[in-house]
Structure 1
Amino acid sequence: MKKLLLLTLLFMFILRIGLTPASAQEQTKSIPVLLDGLPIKFDVQPVIQNERTLVPFRAIAEALNVTVAWDGTTQSVIASNDTANIKLYINNKTAYRNEVPIKLDVPPLIINDRTFIPLRFFSEAFSCSVLWDDTYGVKITSPRQSMSVIGFYALGDTETSSWKNLFGKNYPEADKGNTDLVSEIAAGWYSMDGQGNLLTKSRTGWQRPDGWNDVIKSVKEFGLKTEMVIHVADGDGTIVTLLTNENAVNKAISDIVIEAKNYSGVNLDFEGLGLQSNGNQSTIERDAFTDFVRLLSEQLKAANLGLTLTLHAPNSAYKGYDYHALGQLADRIIIMAYDYGAKPEPVNLVTQAVEMAKAVVPSQKLILGISIPSENPESVITKAGIAKRYNLGGIALWRLGLVTNETWDAFRTTIQPR
């Protein structure tokens, strides 16, 4: 008898689930919302009301870098950025964009003491495109955003020519090409030895080409800025040898400043610090690099030249970089948020690197480095989306010569170089 009763109850439970209205099932189903391929985190889940998605207003506003406020007296949400001012009222199907009334399919609602707003209207009001995908949920694409775009110009070959990739023609001919998508060139032509000598030919492949003056001339003709990149790897202790020798430091800084007058500034790319050292030795290396940057920064500022640092990501294995101190000395820091081992680079690790850097360096001083060989046309939109989401100063592309036409086209949809 007990078994019969249990079977009856189980059958009734299954029948009840099967008869649950579709609308109720939709209400309990999680609704993913992606902005430029990045999930928007909500402390309470979006809901569907009359086949329209409503979301907590603060989360969507923060993801879009929109200033938002709640007016309890008028029961209204006010949001604005440089292009639009929005006002919505609870339980009112009339919203306003730049004072122009717009009819809504569903009004903003208060559900369990939380304010929910129509996702499509709010996103499109700030010039985003919105697509409902049955597999991935709501996909929002933000409008093009103005930011710095740094292209690393290094030696390649006939198939990976930085010149042709940038100017669209074989050297020495130059056309607009892809110069509309780059704001400045990081000329990867220099290295150093342990004695502080500035090298134009190095064993690591960083070489200044014979026609380097042609590059500078053509870049300037298309309105792009230039920086000289000094790349040194510490695999054999070259950097530590340099940083711990006062005479070598003084010579290095003097030679750099003299050569930098051919450019608008210096991009210092000293890689590998802090990988094999630990404890006091790691601290000594980190402090020595900071001291070197301090001296170089002072000399460059006196010459009215800028300083960019290209650094391993703060969540990498390289611990020889004091982001907080360096962020106070340099004009910009390029975060090399790549080489994590997967392709495309893992979004969670890239995001973590940006969050760690942003915690100690102003966001507009930070540039997100993107390794083109690790990415594809879809993933670069997400990486640029991270720079947008965290209001960074821009992105840096390693390197010119490797950017496909499809990838250039993808960048054109999401960024506007400044």
Structure 2
Amino acid sequence: MKRIFLMLALVAWLGGVLVPAASAQENKHIPVFIDGLPVNFDVQPVIQSGRTLVPFRAIAEALNVQVTWENTTQTVNATDANNNVRLQMGSLTGYRNQTPIPLDVPPLNLDGRTLIPLRFFSEAFDCQVVWDNAAGTVIITSPPQQMAVVGFYVLGDAQTSSWTNLFGVPYPGTSTGNTGLVSELALGWYSLDEQGNLLTQSRTGWQRPDGWEDILDAARSYNLGTEMVIHVTDEDGTITNLLTNETAMHKATTDILTEVNSYGGVNLNLEGLGYRDTGEQLQAVQNSFTDFVSLLFEQLQAAGKPLTLTLHAPNSVYRGYDYQALGQVSDKIIIMAYDYGAKPEPVNQVIQAVETAIAVIPAEKLVLGISAPNETPQSILTKVGIAKRYNLDGIALWRLGVISDEMWQVLKTTVKERS
């Protein structure tokens, strides 16, 4: 008897998401999560013959799948870069890339919404689907996706070495390590003083290490892009004084243009603007920073070098950054969507930061910053899921040297490694 029960359970599992059997079509609140993020449905999923059916448009959009509806044939078409799926209302046959696949339950119409078999649809797009019986939820993990992965590289110690964390062996040895995941190094070696002098030693600890040329050589050998990061904080007014001194701003851009020849581009990370400013004063702070960025961007463009801005999130307490204006005078923006005061970083606030930025800047110019010390392996999966859900260019990891082996393993399940 036990063997018969197990066989029946296996058959049910192969056909769809296995849920407690229902004698007839049953509406039930069934939470569905993709990469740790909930999928919101305007019509609740339905259980039919023990299978879960969900509104197709909501699940497709959450997976970034393009969908069309053919009214004459009552057919759903869904397409991504690798797969095409076709489902017809009432039919027990689905198609993936023209290959017929039998279904245990057909798609149906409910309250004007088309509901489709969840497991078939998700797995047709190479997702992993798990039914959590204890929680009564469906957990979907999307396939690894190719995206930009920026790794912040700074001077550490034996326990927090960016080199060892990246290459997998102590300096000066090299191996593939985690270089298949990381596409670009943001090298945190520079700062500025209020006179606009470019510094390789700073009071904040951002400094260019001895043997820095070895790091550039290793990056080139593993086909890693490089950015020179210029990091300054305004806690002592350094940035404010710099931005109100036209001579200092021109000095800074000249020094940066001279130094950038060794790198693929520039990453400007000026932090702390607009903390206490309001009204016209805040507007003046935003304008002065935008003016400096515009000056630098124009000269870098002429030199054929891209400019990345690493900015406080638009919903942070530092409001001195006009995202809309800055998006027009930069090639890429890293959103520092962290330091909200909780660990892991609250998903709703990270999403709010992304949605605010996307409202004024194209998603393909945005990168989601993730602070590894504030996350767990599971929460990093969710943060990468946000980058996927909103079609961002990728993620930026703060920082190499503090990313655990478990975090790297999780990243390899959700980010496609470079070939």
Q: Report the TM-score range of the alignment, normalised by the length of the smaller protein.
A: over 0.9
Q: Aligned partners of 1:136 and 1:276: how far apart in 2?
A: 46
Q: Aligned partners of 1:66 and 1:119: how far apart in 2?
A: 14
Q: Secondary structure at the match of 2:292?
A: helix
Q: Aligned partners of 2:84 and 2:22: how far apart in 1?
A: 33
Identity %: 63
Aligned twin of 2:367: 367
Q: Deviations for 1:192-243, whole angstroms, at most 9, x for unmatched residues? A: 0111010101001101101111111111111101000000001111111001
The answer on 1:152 being equivalent to 2:160 is no
**Runs of 4+, deviation exceeding 4 Å:** none
| 1:412 Cα offset (Å) | 0.4
Aligned twin of 2:122: 123
Give unpaired runs (5+ residues) of structure 1.
1-20
Q: Deviations for 1:8-35, whole angstroms, at most 9, x for unmatched residues? A: xxxxxxxxxxxxx983799343100000
Amino acid at match of 2:377: P
Q: Deviations for 1:327-383, whole angstroms, at most 9, x for unmatched residues? A: 111110000000011111111110111011011100010000000001111111111
Counterpart mapping for 1:96-111 below 5 A: 96-111=95-110
Cα distance, 1:22–1:103 mapped onto 2, change above 3 Å: closer
Q: Deviations for 1:88-124, whole angstroms, at most 9, x for unmatched residues? A: 0001101111111110010000112211011100000
| 1:278 Cα offset (Å) | 1.4
* Aligned-pair Cα RMSD in Å: 1.3
Counterpart mapping for 1:11-410 below 5 A: 23=22, 27-134=26-133, 135-410=135-410
Q: Is the 8 A contact 2:201 2:207 kept in 1?
A: yes
Q: Aligned partners of 2:44 and 2:357: how far apart in 1?
A: 29
Q: Deviations for 1:113-168, whole angstroms, at most 9, x for unmatched residues? A: 21101110000000001000021500000000010000000011110000111111
Q: Aligned partners of 1:136 and 1:201: how far apart in 2?
A: 55
Q: Secondary structure at the match of 2:284?
A: helix
| 1:54 Cα offset (Å) | 0.4
Amino acid at match of 1:178: N
TM-score (ref. length: structure 1): 0.93
Q: Secondary structure at the match of 1:317?
A: coil
Q: Aligned partners of 2:32 and 2:399: how far apart in 1?
A: 32
Q: Is the 8 A contact 1:183 1:417 kept in 2?
A: no
Q: Aligned partners of 1:417 and 1:348: how far apart in 2?
A: 28
Equivalenced residue count is 398
TM-score (ref. length: structure 2): 0.93
Give unpaired runs (5+ residues) of structure 2.
1-19
Q: Deviations for 1:45-74, whole angstroms, at most 9, x for unmatched residues? A: 111111100001110010010000111100
Q: Aligned partners of 2:61 and 2:406: how far apart in 1?
A: 30
Q: Deviations for 1:373-399, whole angstroms, at most 9, x for unmatched residues? A: 011111111110000000000000000
Deviates more, 1:273-282 or 1:146-155: 273-282
Amino acid at match of 1:197: N
Q: Is the 8 A contact 1:149 1:182 kept in 2?
A: yes
Q: Aligned partners of 1:139 and 1:38: how far apart in 2?
A: 9
Aligned twin of 1:18: none
Q: Secondary structure at the match of 1:185?
A: strand
Larger Rg: 1
Q: Aligned partners of 1:25 and 1:86: how far apart in 2?
A: 27
Q: Aligned partners of 2:381 and 2:147: how far apart in 1?
A: 14
Aligned twin of 1:5: none
Q: Aligned partners of 1:279 and 1:375: how far apart in 2?
A: 35
